[in-house]
C-alpha cells in the first residue's frame, strides 16, 4: 500500500499524551494535574450560554448553511475590533470566519502553496502547523530560536529559497509562551515583503498578551494585506473551544481563493458558534479583560514560585499567555520523562520533542506546561510535585 501524506504525518501530540493516563489511578490526595493542552476547561459565562440558547431556539438561520466566509455581522464586528485594537483600517471584506484558527492556517496555506513549496517555521514550532504542512505536501523549514526563545530575522533570511512561500509566526508563542517584540515582528514583515512572500502571524492568544495596546504595527503598513496574513481565535477569549470559531484576515483577493478551500471542507462555520462570538464581541469586553488579568496573575505565580525548581536545576526558558516552557535537569529524554511524570507525579504535560523536527536533540530536555487552567494553589502544587522528583 502506498504511504500517504496523512499516514506519514505524526499522530496528534495531545491525543498521544492523553493515552498515557489510560489505566492510571490518581488518588484523591494527589489528583491529576493536566497541563497538556491550552484550552479553557470551564464553559462560557452564563450570559453567553443564554445567548447561544436563544439563537438556537429563536433563529431559524442558526440551523442552516450560512455564507462560506462567515456571518456578515461577525466579519464586520471583528474588523471593527481589529481597527480599535491595532489602529487599523480593515473592513469586513478583509475578514473570513473559519472553523477554528487551525482551519484559518490551513486555508491560508491553500492560497499560498503548491506541491513542494516551503514555509519557514520557528522551532520549537506549533505542531499542528507542521502537521498541516506535511499533509499538504509543503516542506516545513525549521528556524531554531535564539536568545529569549525568539526567532532571528537574519537567520530566517538565510533560509529563503525560490520555493519559500511564507514565514509563519505565533505570538504570544505556542509552545514557548513568549511575546514577540513589535520591532521583531515588523522586521519579519519587511523581510517577507522584500522577498515577495507572505508573513502569517497566528495571534490565537492575543487577548492574553501582557502588553497593553497594539502588539505590532503590521496593520498600519501601506499595502499590509499584500504581505501580512493575520490568524485569530475566539475560542480562548470566550471559552468556545468546542464550537470552533476562528478568523483569517487578509486581502479580499486572497479570501476569494480561501473561499474555495473553505467551501469544500466545511461549507460554512457553525452558526451557533458565530452567534456566540458576535455576542461576545458586543458584550464581553470587560469580562475578557478580567480573564486576562487572571491569566497574568497566574503567569506571575509561575515566576514567583520558580526559585523552588531553579534550586533543583530547572530553567524557565519561556513564559507568557497560556504557557511556560521549561528545561528539566534529568539525564533522560523528555520523551521518556513526560510519561513517567503521569505515574510518579500525577502530572500530564507535553515533552519538548513534540515541538522539534524528528532527529534533533534540543527538545530532549524541554517540557511545555500549559498553566492557564491552574490557579495559584494549583501552580504551587505543580511546583511541589516537580521539585520532589528524584529520577
Measured CA distances, 254 to 24, 81, 189, 198, 250 (Å): 48, 21, 17, 11, 6
* Cis status, amide bond into 172, omega within 30 of 0: yes
Are the C-beta atoms of 337 and 15 separated by less than 8 Å? no
Q: In the prediction, which pLDDT does 1 show?
A: 58
Q: CA-CA distance, 150 to 184, in Å (whole number)? A: 9
**Closest of 366, 368, 362, 369 to residue 146, by C-alpha:** 362
d(CA 273, CA 188): 33
Quickly count: other Cβ atoms within 10 Å of residue 38's Cβ: 22
Question: Which stretches within the chain are classed as H helix?
Answer: 5-8, 13-18, 46-58, 72-86, 101-112, 127-135, 153-157, 182-194, 235-238, 252-265, 271-283, 285-305, 307-310, 334-345, 376-387
pLDDT, tens digit (0-9, with 9 covering 90-100), for 153-182: 999 999 999 999 999 999 999 999 999 999
pTM for the full model? 0.95
Do the strands 118-123 and 164-170 form a parallel or antiparallel pair, or are they unpaired? Answer: parallel
pLDDT score, position 185: 98
Residue 100 and residue 65: Cα distance in Å, rounded?
17
What are the backbone dihedrals phi and psi of residue 355, each rounded to the nearest 5 degrees, phi first? -115, 10
**Distant-in-sequence, close-in-space partners of 151: CB < 8 Å, separation ≥ 6:** 122, 143, 145, 169, 180, 184, 188
Q: What is the DSSP letter of 370?
A: E
- How confident is the model at residue 391, as a pLDDT? 79
Q: Which residues sit opposite 315 in a β-bridge?
A: 327
Looking at residue 42, what is its pLDDT? 86
Q: What's phi and psi for 233, nearest 5 deg?
A: -135, 135
Q: Which residues contact 39 (CB under 8 A, 6 or more apart)?
A: 235, 236, 241, 373
What's the pLDDT at 14? 84
Cell numbers for 274, please give them: 458565530
Contacts of 304 (CB under 8 A, 6+ apart): none
pLDDT value, residue 377: 94
CA nearest 243: which of 62, 107, 95? 62
- Rounded CA separation 213/200 (Å): 20
The predicted pLDDT at position 260 comes to 98
pLDDT in tens, 228-282: 999 999 999 999 999 999 999 999 999 999 999 999 999 999 999 999 999 999 9
* Order of strands across the sheet that contains 228-233: 95-98, 246-249, 228-233, 198-202, 164-170, 118-123, 139-144
Domains and CATH numbers, the chain: 5-43+287-387 (3.90.1150.10), 64-283 (3.40.640.10)
Positions of the chain with pLDDT under 50: none
Amino acid at each position: 500500500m502506498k504511504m500517504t501524506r496523512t499516514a506519514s504525518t505524526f499522530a496528534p501530540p495531545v491525543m498521544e499524551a492523553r493515552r498515557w493516563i489510560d489505566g492510571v489511578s490518581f488518588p484523591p490526595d494527589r489528583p491529576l494535574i493536566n497541563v497538556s493542552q491550552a484550552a479553557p476547561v470551564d464553559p462560557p459565562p452564563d450570559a453567553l450560554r443564554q445567548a447561544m440558547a436563544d439563537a438556537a431556539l429563536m433563529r431559524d438561520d442558526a440551523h442552516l448553511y450560512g455564507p462560506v466566509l462567515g456571518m456578515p455581522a461577525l466579519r464586520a464586528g471583528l474588523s471593527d475590533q481589529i481597527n480599535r485594537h491595532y489602529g487599523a483600517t480593515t473592513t469586513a471584506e478583509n475578514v473570513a470566519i473559519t472553523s477554528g484558527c487551525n482551519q484559518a492556517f490551513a486555508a491560508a496555506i491553500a492560497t499560498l502553496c503548491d506541491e513542494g513549496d516551503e514555509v519557514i517555521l520557528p522551532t520549537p514550532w506549533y505542531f499542528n502547523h507542521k502537521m498541516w504542512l506535511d499533509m499538504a505536501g509543503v516542506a516545513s523549514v525549521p528556524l531554531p530560536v535564539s536568545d529569549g526563545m525568539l526567532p532571528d530575522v537574519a537567520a530566517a533570511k538565510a533560509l529563503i529559497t525560490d520555493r519559500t512561500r511564507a514565514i509563519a509566526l505565533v505570538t504570544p508563542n505556542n509552545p514557548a509562551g513568549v511575546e514577540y517584540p513589535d520591532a521583531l515582528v515588523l522586521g519579519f514583515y519587511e523581510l517577507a515583503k522584500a522577498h515577495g512572500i507572505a508573513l502569517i502571524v497566528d495571534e490565537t492568544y492575543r487577548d492574553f498578551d501582557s502588553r497593553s495596546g497594539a502588539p505590532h504595527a503590521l496593520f498600519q503598513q501601506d499595502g499590509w494585506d499584500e504581505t501580512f496574513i493575520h490568524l485569530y481565535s475566539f475560542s480562548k477569549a470566550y471559552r468556545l473551544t468546542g464550537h470552533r470559531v476562528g478568523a483569517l484576515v487578509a486581502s479580499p483577493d486572497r479570501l476569494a481563493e480561501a473561499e474555495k478551500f473553505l467551501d469544500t471542507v466545511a461549507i460554512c462555520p457553525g452558526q451557533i458558534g458565530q452567534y456566540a462570538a458576535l455576542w461576545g464581541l458586543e458584550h464581553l469586553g470587560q469580562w475578557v479583560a478580567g480573564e486576562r488579568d487572571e491569566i497574568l496573575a497566574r503567569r506571575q505565580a509561575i515566576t514567583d514560585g520558580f526559585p523552588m525548581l531553579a534550586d533543583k536545576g530547572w530553567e524557565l526558558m519561556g513564559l507568557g499567555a497560556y504557557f511556560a516552557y521549561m528545561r528539566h535537569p534529568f539525564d533522560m529524554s523528555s520523551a521518556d520523562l513526560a510519561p513517567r511524570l503521569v505515574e510518579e507525579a500525577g502530572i500530564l504535560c507535553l515533552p519538548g520533542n513534540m515541538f522539534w523536527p524528528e532527529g534533533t536533540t534540543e527538545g530532549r530536555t524541554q517540557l511545555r506546561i500549559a498553566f492557564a487552567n491552574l490557579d495559584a494553589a494549583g501552580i504551587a502544587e505543580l511546583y511541589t510535585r516537580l521539585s520532589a522528583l528524584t529520577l
